[in-house]
Amino acid sequence: MNVDVTVGFCVKDVESTLKDALDSIYSQDYPHSQIEIIAVVGFSRDRTLSITQNALDQGDITSSLFNENKGLGPARQLVVEKSVGKYILWVDGDMVLPKTYVRKQVEFMESHPKVGLAGGKYSVRMGEGMAADLENVVYVVDSIYGERGASKYGYLPGTEGAVFRVEATRQIGGFDLRMNGAAEDTELAFRMKAAGWDLAVTKEVFSESTRPSWVSLWKQYLWYGKGGHFIFHKNRGMISLLKMTPMSGFVAGVLRVPTAYLLVHRKSVFLLPFHYTFKRVAWCLGFFTAHRTGYGHDLLN
């Protein structure tokens, strides 16, 4: 099969945003004959599986659908193993891509052969509630200035909208199958950088929904803290625990206020220090809960 790019579509419980994400894939101006979609659906409690199946059946792009319930690391690695493309472009079920996105990301990789993966940038998406709006503007600020996921190894892009070189991904062994929670993407980016590949952020912009409520945001960062515990014990160079404290979060929020205000001109961004503190409290609780239950220790020892 003559395929240039595989769209990796790993989703679970996203029926409310799924149609827009799939429509944006099928609207790409890159030749559909040179794209394949590999969808991996977790054991969802909603209609995610049926919506995905129907869209793939009716679409004009070659596709495969798999069920997987071991977590994000195994789900993404399944895409890596099944891919026949030169590149994998990752799309989440709450994302929307402009129609030129795949083409421009592939063109970037073709002209930068030393880049192992290249992320995109978040677009401003306001009006979805205070928690969602503040989280969105943080993503936009951090993707613009390359601060999101920073470590001593530099900016580590996540999978959202990122294009991975299959050769580089397989060379380092792909995703860690032991990681059933968050941070599976930045952990791989860390290893890719260590193996000598360049990481990049392109100028291409995508849209992604953020958590709609404070409760869902709290749960998300509890989950992130659990993933942080795993990668901290796997490679301590990835995370500075001092920078993940609530006090450091407050400072990070203060530092982002000026740029955030210039972006959206909303007084609500002055709440970012408290927003960040809230998230870091949840992250730390997730980290210490994982420490208490042995997540990370039991897998790595």
| pLDDT on residue 95 | 92
Does the CA dihedral 160-166-168-170 come out positive or negative?
positive
pLDDT of residue 46: 86
Report the alpha-carbon distance of residue 163 to residue 110 in Å, rounded: 11
- If you ran DSSP here, which 8-state letter would residue 12 be given? S
How far is it, in rounded angstroms, from Cα 207 to Cα 268? 21
Strand pairing class (95-96; 198-208): antiparallel
Q: Residue 60: how many CB atoms within 10 A of its CB?
A: 9
Q: Which residue has the higher pLDDT, 230 or 65?
A: 65
Q: Please calculate the CA angle 182-186-187 and round it to the nearest 5 degrees.
A: 85
pLDDT of residue 298: 53
Cα separation, 253 vs 141, whole angstroms: 11
Angle at 107 between CA 18 and CA 191, to 5 degrees: 75
pLDDT band with cut points at 50, 70 and 90 for residue 148: very low
Which of 2 and 51 is assigned the larger pLDDT?
51
From start to end of the chain, where are the E strands? 5-11, 35-41, 62-67, 87-90, 95-96, 115-122, 163-165, 198-208
pLDDT tops 70 at residue 217: yes
Supply φ then ψ for residue 16, to 5 degrees: -75, -25
Average pLDDT over residues 123-150: 78
**Which pLDDT score is estimated for 79?**
95
Tokens of 261: 């205000």
Which of 254, 118, 291 has the alpha carbon at shortest distance from 189? 118
At residue 257, the pLDDT reads: 95
Calpha distance 195→168 (Å, rounded): 9
How do residues 257-297 score in pLDDT, each as one tens digit? 999 999 899 999 999 999 999 999 999 999 999 888 776 55
Range of lowest pLDDT (52-66, 70-84, 202-216, 230-244): 230-244
pLDDT at 138 over 60: yes
Q: What is the pTM of this model?
A: 0.88
pLDDT at residue 87 is higher than 90: yes
Quote the DSSP letter at residue 98: -
What is the pLDDT at residue 296?
A: 58
- Each residue's pLDDT tens digit, 231-266: 888 887 778 888 899 999 999 999 999 999 998 999
Q: Which of 58, 51, 69, 68 is nearest to 14 (CA)?
A: 51
| pLDDT above 70: percentage of residues in the chain | 93
**Mean model confidence pLDDT for the chain:** 88
Q: Summarize pLDDT for 23-45 with one digit per residue, the tens.
A: 999 999 999 999 999 999 988 88
Res. 150 pLDDT band, cuts 50 70 90: very low
Spell out the domains of the chain, with CATH numbers in brackets.
5-300 (3.90.550.10)
Tell me what pLDDT residue 183 has.
85
